[in-house]
A and B are shown apart, each in its own frame.
Chain A
Amino acid sequence: MAVVETRKLTKVFKRGNVGAVVNVDLESREGEFLVLLGPSGSGKTTLLRMIAGLEEPTSGEILIGGRVVNDLTPRERGIAMVFQSYALYPHLTAFNNIVFPLKAQGVAKDERQKRADWAAALLGIQHLFHRKPRELSGGERQRVALARAIVREPSLFLLDEPLSNLDAKLRASAREELEQFQKRIGTTAIYVTHDQVEAMAMGDRVVVMSQGSVRQIGTPADVYDQPADTFVATFLGSPPMNIVPADGVIVGFRPEHFLPPGVAERLGEHVSYQFRVTHSEYLGAERILYGIIEGGPFKERKVISRIPATHGSEISDGNVYTFAIANRDLKFFDPKTEKRASAARLPL
């Protein structure tokens, strides 16, 4: 049974406007870490807030544990949520923040202490019990917010960009920690982010959203390697997939699959193009080459190549080289719908 399911879920904020969330069908699996990924304004937070009960759907159904919860208040849904701002109660100590949900449930005092100790031990924050939120660092606040979310052992965990307020260094370690933590407690989690690295690293499955609708649901490898449409193809990956229209078809290939001379021989079946490098960026571990294709069906199209810095051959700006792509790494999209076209003839 799905922990959370949405059926044709739609939210329209202003009548007559386009919906913030449009006909979303979603089904999470038991214990899974599901990531909602999309640019800002794609409706991912609205979707999460509807599941939490903080936003009323315009139409459609939300099911938690097989039961329609549309008319239930947030407190009746048995979920826990971590907010982007953490939303800690500023006038309460960390301990009182953590036990607040238990108090609301009417849990006895001894039991409250026991559960707070358990949650704090899991996150290593017992020593912060007597501090107020403003006396805590960003990472500590995040842990207190997590502890507050887990104390009552919810059936579902909702996380709204909980790492976006941390600095870059802390974010990487917090990401790993959060992922481990979710695996350990085994609670189904829905995680909203606009950061594709977070989504790829943490998600069991990734839901890519744009303009209120779901573009693709799949494992990180699925959405990266087999994008369902050009939006998913260009939203994931940095730099994004090269998209070159030609002859009634859109061809896509990832920069890391557009390979310099000397490597092409090892690719098996492949196609080659003349690539004029206009400028390049050296990023330490890799080089990003920007340029245009000369001649052939993709004439004058701007493309990007990404090659490991360990690649030996000299490539300098302004020169033309023969670059190659393995046939299996070419993706085709329908120019009208921009959806993936399964089999297409490669324009030559």
Chain B
Amino acid sequence: MFMPAIIYIVALVGVPFLMAFVYSVGDVKVGSTGYHFVGAQNFISILHNPTFIRSLENSFLFTISSQILVLIGANILALALKDAFPGRRFMRFLILLPWVAPVSIGSIGWKWILDSLYSVVNWVLVRMHLVKQFDTPVWLGEPKLAMMSVILVHTWHMLPFATVILLAGLTAIPKDIPEAAAVDGAGFFRTLFQITIPMMLPIINVAVLFGAIFTFTDMTVIYILTRGGPYDSTQVIPTLAFFAGILGSDLAEGAAISIFMVPLLVIATYMALRSAHRAEVT
């Protein structure tokens, strides 16, 4: 009964994963026919590569900042959408849209929104006299702005998912509890930080775990918006692995870069699962 699923996982996940391990300790290039074991040489070489170090830092910056923004945004949205108001269903639908739309299409939309010439954002900023007409920010062309832009676009994409998870956590809290807090004299923020968020902690952990792993391994937004540029300022591990291994034909180096993510993700997953397990609700 589970055979199709097992075949699917082994063929499409297991085999490529194993191949990546094998490639990362060999000298395979696109088109090469032989295989020579080279030990840790690929890993040593990428560790000496400043671009790789930069990408690793960027990966952390990209993941952590976007997850912080997602968490704050999802909390606010979940609180706003919890209670009934006219048009709530429509609002929920709108908020879910970025998640439902293919991320590549969304990113292409953002590429135009942030375009250096046709940017609608800049048009608005100029009309509001916040920037000068011929000195507009180049959102995807300046290192800091480019990083900020990819983080924001990725946050936009991840926000609905986290909101839905937090909303589920929020509605799972019995109505009595915030009411008791209100009678006990707690205001909005005390209730939020001492009651609601601690009670949602296990579910927030799940949202962060999934979000972080998703973000750390995702390359779509960056690939479409900046291709890692300018000057590798938005290069992250997945894009670097793709550029080195597939576009640069050095499969071994690409594999070694990808493999580098494995221990980091294993540790992250373990920590998140453990904290989810420890957080106790009822």
Interface residues of A (CB under 8 A from B): 52-54, 73-75, 79-81, 83-85, 87-91, 100-101, 103-105, 132-134, 148, 152
Q: When the two chains form their complex, are residues A54 and B182 in contact, meaning their CB atoms are under 8 A apart?
A: yes
Q: A20 vs B280: C-alpha distance in the bound complex, in angstroms?
A: 38
Q: When the two chains form their complex, are residues B281 and A90 in contact, meaning their CB atoms are under 8 A apart?
A: yes
B183 within 8 A of A: yes
Collect the chain A residues with CB atoms within 8 Å of residue B182's CB: 53-54, 73-75
Give the Cβ gap from A86 to chain B, nearest Cβ, in Å. 8
Q: When the two chains form their complex, are residues A81 and B185 in contact, meaning their CB atoms are under 8 A apart?
A: no
In the assembled complex, 21 residue pairs joining A and B whose CB atoms fall closer than 8 Å, in A order, are A74-B182, A74-B183, A74-B185, A75-B186, A81-B180, A83-B179, A87-B177, A87-B180, A90-B280, A91-B198, A91-B201, A91-B280, A91-B281, A100-B181, A100-B186, A104-B184, A104-B185, A104-B190, A105-B185, A133-B282, A134-B280
Give the Cβ gap from B201 to chain A, nearest Cβ, in Å. 8
B 184-207 to A, binary, CB cutoff 8 A, 1 in contact else 0:
111100100011001101000000
Q: When the two chains form their complex, are residues A104 and B280 in contact, meaning their CB atoms are under 8 A apart?
A: no
B135 within 8 A of A: no
Q: A15 vs B194: C-alpha distance in the bound complex, in angstroms?
A: 36
Of B186, B187, B280, B281, the most chain A CB neighbours within 10 A belong to: B186
Give the Cβ gap from B194 to chain A, nearest Cβ, in Å. 8
Interface members, chain B 153-179 (any A CB < 8 Å): 174, 176-177, 179
- Measured CB to CB, the nearest residue on chain A to B177 is A87
Contact partner of A100 among B184, B280, B282, CB < 8 A? B184
Contact partner of B184 among A54, A91, A101, CB < 8 A? A101
Collect the chain B residues with CB atoms within 8 Å of residue A104's CB: 184-187, 190
Q: When the two chains form their complex, are residues A54 and B282 in contact, meaning their CB atoms are under 8 A apart?
A: no
Interface members, chain B 60-106 (any A CB < 8 Å): none
Give the Cβ gap from A72 to chain B, nearest Cβ, in Å. 12
Q: When the two chains form their complex, are residues B281 and A75 in contact, meaning their CB atoms are under 8 A apart?
A: no
- With contacts A85-B176, A87-B174, A91-B199 taken as known, whether A152 is within 8 angstroms of B183 at the C-beta atoms is no
- Measured CB to CB, the nearest residue on chain B to A145 is B180
Collect the chain B residues with CB atoms within 8 Å of residue A74's CB: 179, 182-183, 185
- With contacts A85-B176, A90-B281 taken as known, whether A80 is within 8 angstroms of B183 at the C-beta atoms is yes
Q: A240 vs B280: C-alpha distance in the bound complex, in angstroms?
A: 48
Collect the chain B residues with CB atoms within 8 Å of residue A148's CB: 184
Collect the chain A residues with CB atoms within 8 Å of residue B186's CB: 75, 100, 104
Give the Cβ gap from B200 to chain A, nearest Cβ, in Å. 10
12 other contacts beyond A79-B183, A88-B180, with CB at 8 A cut-off?
A: A73-B182, A74-B182, A87-B176, A87-B177, A87-B179, A90-B199, A91-B198, A91-B201, A91-B280, A101-B184, A101-B185, A104-B184
Of B174, B176, B180, B195, the most chain A CB neighbours within 10 A belong to: B180
Give the Cβ gap from A257 to chain B, nearest Cβ, in Å. 43
Q: When the two chains form their complex, are residues B183 and A52 in contact, meaning their CB atoms are under 8 A apart?
A: yes
Collect the chain A residues with CB atoms within 8 Å of residue B282's CB: 90, 133-134
Q: When the two chains form their complex, are residues A132 and B280 in contact, meaning their CB atoms are under 8 A apart?
A: yes
Give the Cβ gap from A187 to chain B, nearest Cβ, in Å. 15
Give the Cβ gap from B40 to chain A, nearest Cβ, in Å. 46
Of A79, A84, A85, A152, the most chain B CB neighbours within 10 A belong to: A85
B 41-75 to A, binary, CB cutoff 8 A, 1 in contact else 0:
00000000000000000000000000000000000
Collect the chain A residues with CB atoms within 8 Å of residue B183's CB: 52-54, 74-75, 79-81
Would you list the 5 A-B pairs with minimal beta carbon distance, nearest first? Answer: A87-B176, A87-B180, A104-B185, A101-B184, A75-B185
Give the Cβ gap from A148 to chain B, nearest Cβ, in Å. 7
Q: A148 vs B181: C-alpha distance in the bound complex, in angstroms?
A: 11
Q: A4 vs B201: C-alpha distance in the bound complex, in angstroms?
A: 39
Give the Cβ gap from B172 to chain A, nearest Cβ, in Å. 11
Give the Cβ gap from A89 to chain B, nearest Cβ, in Å. 6
Collect the chain B residues with CB atoms within 8 Å of residue A54's CB: 179, 182-183
Collect the chain B residues with CB atoms within 8 Å of residue A152's CB: 185
Collect the chain A residues with CB atoms within 8 Å of residue B174's CB: 85, 87
Q: A129 vs B24: C-alpha distance in the bound complex, in angstroms?
A: 56
Q: A257 vs B70: C-alpha distance in the bound complex, in angstroms?
A: 72
- Measured CB to CB, the nearest residue on chain B to A106 is B185
Q: A152 vs B179: C-alpha distance in the bound complex, in angstroms?
A: 17
Give the Cβ gap from B278 to chain A, nearest Cβ, in Å. 12
Give the Cβ gap from B66 to chain A, nearest Cβ, in Å. 28
Q: A152 vs B183: C-alpha distance in the bound complex, in angstroms?
A: 12
Collect the chain A residues with CB atoms within 8 Å of residue B176's CB: 83-85, 87
Collect the chain B residues with CB atoms within 8 Å of residue A133's CB: 282
- Measured CB to CB, the nearest residue on chain A to B173 is A90
Collect the chain B residues with CB atoms within 8 Å of residue A80's CB: 183-184
Q: A85 vs B174: C-alpha distance in the bound complex, in angstroms?
A: 9
Contact partner of B177 among A75, A84, A89, A103, CB < 8 A? A89
Interface members, chain B 115-174 (any A CB < 8 Å): 174
Q: A87 vs B179: C-alpha distance in the bound complex, in angstroms?
A: 8
Give the Cβ gap from B69 to chain A, nearest Cβ, in Å. 26
